[in-house]
Chains A and B, each alone.
Chain A
């Protein structure tokens, strides 16, 4: 067990609790920076593309985590903001705006539009807010069809390549560069997210999540703060949507459907509501399941000559995993990781009920 003796306020403010933690995260950074090297050596970048996809999902997950995990506002409509970001990016690039400007701009405009859409429904709570955003998500596909001049409608739209100072980056032509672009965005957003949580703005978000009445009594303007959270959340989702477009290469009205919105929400619940790590853990699970199923299928087919071709197996497995998490580990994967870590830190003094009290669900989960 490590005891940190705090001798200055910096000990509470700084990003890492102690030197060992900083070293671990530095090693993690080295690992993710060196990952492409491995795929470069084996000469097969297929899995790197999957990893990049996981990172993009994690960026969208962070956006939703801020809103649902930290502000307590559930949303089933985040695919809508991803769609906004994606199509804005396509159109800005099409209009000749350089990628370095078009990309952040599409996120910001998605944020502003998202906030404008969200303002009327922000007065709703819990399950009602979830329903309103669900409706928004169901309308998205229709709006994409209606806005055909900008979106290509049902036929879809091709996404131009990323161009940074003349360097063309295409997902298939330069998977390594594309990975680094996505990684940079992800790391930057994590840093922003951490800064937010250690300053008054982030604390006002969590205050609203835990008790709206006392947040107001402390001088927090509920509407403005919720709108702020929605803006940041939709911006992150918009950026993820733009990257998702680059990753997919071609988007149609069915790309950002309801299933994606639901997947995002389930992802952060599986990962662990209220933790930035949760967005990444959840994205990894969501990214691994299809690959694992495909591999398992071919393994069964080649070794035992058993062919499993059940339609909807992925969704069913995903739903099953989710039910298991809600029943047995409401704190998500990150919560499980915390418990394992505490077990070893305190060995042999860990007690089974140590996290019992904190098992109380976030207000997000309760039907208000």
Chain B
């Protein structure tokens, strides 16, 4: 059964067609990867799902809800969590506080009971902290628990961002380049975590990634994009050997006869 259905979605920035009639489905419990050269429209698709952009046409449905009818801040309430390509953490807050913001969609108390710290707000706080502690445990973040993000190395921030998304207990996790800037070991850790997220937590994962090693290690299906258009969809090896994909990455091998393309 498909969890996320994107149907013929198009997005234009002025004259540039960033996403051109793309359709895709992410099934429940699978890891789905988007690959493609820079500027192919991978992150743009993420931003469409997050409702940061309004598509010119098409439909985006998640778990029976029409996402296009909702605003960006309502999307997480359906169970979609995401990370960003250039880490977007709350820098002047600790790791713990960052993860707790991830619990925002589960809050049940309002401003008033928060201000007077009512017993209900206190019990809720305990629940949030218990949930966050499991994420800290899962991602081995104990050492950084009370550290400020501003002082953490890049690799740890990447994990914290994954943790913040996990803390919201999503059904679908959108990972925008989870391995960019990570060392080989850190990338391996990330691969194990993605596997665990899929198999143990039962969360579907959709990711944008350039590291084909990671993509082929964890993903069930892969879609290759170029210039906003779908090139091929299938398993990692199928996509990698697809002629259109090879052409997009390496060129056609024909020498340009007009000479204008080089200019």
| Residues B92 and A211 in contact, CB atoms below 8 Å apart | no
Q: Find residues 310-361 in chain A having any chain B CB closer than 8 Å to their own CB.
A: 357-358, 360
Q: Does B144 contact A (CB under 8 A)?
A: no
State the main secondary structure of chain B at its contact with A. helix
- Number of A residues near B (Cβ < 8 Å) is 35
| Residues A210 and B74 in contact, CB atoms below 8 Å apart | no
Residue of A nearest to B161 (CB): A214
Q: Find residues 102-161 in chain A having any chain B CB closer than 8 Å to their own CB.
A: none
Q: Does B150 contact A (CB under 8 A)?
A: yes
CA A358 to CA B117, docked complex, whole Å: 30
Instruction: Give every chain B residue within 8 A of A232 (Cβ-Cβ).
Output: 111, 115
State the main secondary structure of chain A at its contact with B. helix
Q: Find residues 38-90 in chain B having any chain A CB closer than 8 Å to their own CB.
A: 50, 52, 71-77, 81-82, 84, 88-90
CA A191 to CA B158, docked complex, whole Å: 35
CA A33 to CA B101, docked complex, whole Å: 37
| Residues B148 and A9 in contact, CB atoms below 8 Å apart | no
| Residues B92 and A222 in contact, CB atoms below 8 Å apart | no
Residue of A nearest to B88 (CB): A214
| Residues A203 and B97 in contact, CB atoms below 8 Å apart | yes
Q: Contacting chain B: which of A19-27, A82-90, A175-183, A192-200?
A: A192-200
Q: Does B105 contact A (CB under 8 A)?
A: yes
Instruction: Give every chain A residue within 8 A of B107 (Cβ-Cβ).
Output: 200
Instruction: Give every chain A residue within 8 A of B126 (Cβ-Cβ).
Output: 9, 13
Contact among A195, A196, A210, A228 for B93, CB-based, below 8 A: A210
Q: Does B229 contact A (CB under 8 A)?
A: no
Contact among B74, B114, B128, B129 for A219, CB-based, below 8 A: B74
| Residues B74 and A203 in contact, CB atoms below 8 Å apart | no
Q: Does A362 contact B (CB under 8 A)?
A: yes
| Residues B90 and A216 in contact, CB atoms below 8 Å apart | no
| Residues B88 and A219 in contact, CB atoms below 8 Å apart | no
CA A358 to CA B94, docked complex, whole Å: 12
Q: Does A218 contact B (CB under 8 A)?
A: yes
| Residues B88 and A213 in contact, CB atoms below 8 Å apart | yes
CA A357 to CA B52, docked complex, whole Å: 31
Contact among B89, B90, B93, B129 for A13, CB-based, below 8 A: B129
Given contacts A199-B121, A200-B103, A210-B91, are A221 and B116 in contact (CB under 8 A)?
Answer: no
Q: Does A206 contact B (CB under 8 A)?
A: yes
CA A207 to CA B97, docked complex, whole Å: 9
Contact among B81, B89, B104, B109 for A210, CB-based, below 8 A: B89
Residue of B nearest to A231 (CB): B111
Instruction: Give every chain B residue within 8 A of A362 (Cβ-Cβ).
Output: 92
Contact among B84, B116, B117, B168 for A213, CB-based, below 8 A: B84
| Residues A9 and B97 in contact, CB atoms below 8 Å apart | no
| Residues A214 and B125 in contact, CB atoms below 8 Å apart | no
Instruction: Give every chain B residue within 8 A of A220 (Cβ-Cβ).
Output: 73, 101, 104
Q: Does A168 contact B (CB under 8 A)?
A: no
CA A200 to CA B148, docked complex, whole Å: 18
| Residues A199 and B84 in contact, CB atoms below 8 Å apart | no
Contact among A12, A207, A221 for B96, CB-based, below 8 A: A12
Contact among B103, B121, B150 for A360, CB-based, below 8 A: B150
Instruction: Give every chain A residue within 8 A of B52 (Cβ-Cβ).
Output: 213, 216
Given contacts A199-B114, A211-B88, are A204 and B104 in contact (CB under 8 A)?
Answer: yes
Q: A198-B125, A204-B101, A218-B104 are in contact. List 14 more A-B contacts (CB 8 A).
A: A195-B116, A200-B100, A200-B104, A200-B109, A203-B93, A207-B101, A210-B93, A211-B90, A214-B84, A214-B89, A215-B101, A218-B105, A357-B151, A360-B150
Q: Can you list 8 residue pairs at the A/B interface with Cβ under 8 Å?
A: A9-B126, A13-B125, A199-B125, A200-B103, A217-B88, A221-B71, A358-B92, A358-B148
